[in-house]
Chains A and B, each alone.
Chain A
């Protein structure tokens, strides 16, 4: 529903305030009138006016400026427009100094009022949307929203807090779906840059030229379709953080450009001749082994060292299985409420299926699996049957290609995999492998597996 903005008109002349109110009411606003400053303050205490029109000259009692100052004290967010019949620069300057947003000289053209009011309200709408969005974002990315009881993850979270207020570049390395962007946002929103933008760019999604203009912006006419000067992500994030995802995929040319930005904090827009200076923190992420990429000559070593000032490695979900029950509980609660489904719990059997699964797609895959189960489930509790398809997908007998390696190596890999899945519990791993605990110990020793 359309928001009806409340407006107050303060004027000691009845005909003046009523005619103005009638005009604004026709525009669909809720308008109150006050014949004195005192009356205006009483009304403002009870109603959060978006705009107050205040006549400058009000004989006896409070004048316009006094009324305005008091209104600003009671309702600091209200925009004050001073109405004056005397178009002297002095009064206008004084009014603006005391905090009036605008002033109008009566009589003014109807278009002036309509445009003024709609311009102020447009701004207010944007401001309130901005406040709501910022609240939503910081709520979403507070540290405590990263759910874990895994020691390594807790170490990472404590590190992100420690580094939040630094400008040092951060490199986040981990498999897909482990929450690289979530960690990057947690760093941004808990530091001094939280009020400034967090701008995310997926480097793998764009071609070299597109990515270049996306990052650095471009000048009018620098290529076909470049119709006006456009700011790039680095400029948009000024004062804040740029998150460069899939950094391992950028071309050698962009690697060189990026290195220059990191070194000098300056760059040129595509087709531009003026240097642009920025204050941006860079957080890069990759699911590739960048050190290997450097060795293979596909990634510049100088850029790698620039990026890798602080390195964060997020463990894959299969290495933090103790987090699965917590994450499941969180996703069930959130997704069920989003989908309007009355599902609040999960059976022990179903949970075990989820804990035993290997999660190659990590937390993102877990979230998708829960969503699918909630969509298809007709009970108040998610049961094993809701995840049956997952086991079929994960069954080792299906689509399992036996690698061409010595049998002993195969055995070694099988033991490591089962041990990982069982969280290092030798008794459970031995049971899964169908061997004695002592036999398993022998094999661990023989294959030099630490657990």
Chain B
């Protein structure tokens, strides 16, 4: 039986994992299963930048994927970056099995504002949809309300809706139902 697995990398609040699980359950055709949490991989921290290397975290996520897991989604609290970019909200293997999202910059506290649970919930859902979409081969969408649109600052994340646009939605369904792809 095919599944989608979730894994916390480092400490992640239970509430957030529930949100991630519920978002993944709504959009994926397979049951969603939670794996035991993993600690942050050694050597992933870039002391000069005070951030974690997204690529290393991705490797850690991919390495704990069980055989039956079609997709594995990692969730972490730490701030992620890649060498050329100052930060990323998440990263995915395009048309591949693994993805990761970071909660750090989705929290209002990061911007010096009071915590906002419901806003965090919305942002987490959007990021889950976005990174999962990439693992199913979707690229960035020009429709700014679509979860697949590119967000380079938090305002653009908030501008999105918690859904795919019609075109991306159709592409996803096609992917799920294609004979050589992941059938339902």
Contact = CB atoms under 8 A, between A and B. Distances in A.
The answer to whether A and B assemble together is: yes
Interface of A: 13, 15-16, 18-20, 22-23, 25-28, 83, 104, 106-111, 113-114
Contacts of B82: 19-20, 22-23, 107
Interface stretch (B4-12, B47-55, B115-123): B47-55
Contact of A110 (B83, B87, B134): B87
A23 B83 contact: no
Nearest to B86: A107
**For the complex of A and B, 7 pairs with smallest distance between CB atoms:** A111-B152, A28-B139, A19-B82, A110-B152, A16-B83, A107-B86, A106-B84
Contact of A27 (B81, B86, B139): B139
B152 A18 contact: no
B88 A107 contact: no
B84 A28 contact: no
10 contacts: A13-B83, A19-B84, A23-B84, A26-B94, A26-B139, A26-B140, A104-B84, A107-B86, A108-B85, A109-B86
Given A15-B53, A110-B152, A26 B92 contact: yes
Nearest to A28: B139
A15 B139 contact: no
Contacts of B53: 15
B41 to A, nearest CB: 14
Interface string B59-75: 00000000000000000
A25 B81 contact: no
Contacts of A25: 94, 139
B49 to A, nearest CB: 7
A106 B93 contact: no
B174 to A, nearest CB: 16
A113 B150 contact: no
A13 B153 CA distance: 27
A80 to B, nearest CB: 15
A15 B85 contact: no
B91 interface: yes
A19 B150 contact: no
B155 to A, nearest CB: 11
Contacts of B83: 13, 15-16, 19-20, 106-107
Given A27-B140, A27-B150, A107 B85 contact: yes
A316 to B, nearest CB: 53
A114 B86 contact: no
Contacts of B139: 25-28
A18 B96 CA distance: 14
Contact of A19 (B54, B86, B140): B54
Contacts of B84: 16, 19-20, 23, 83, 104, 106-108, 113
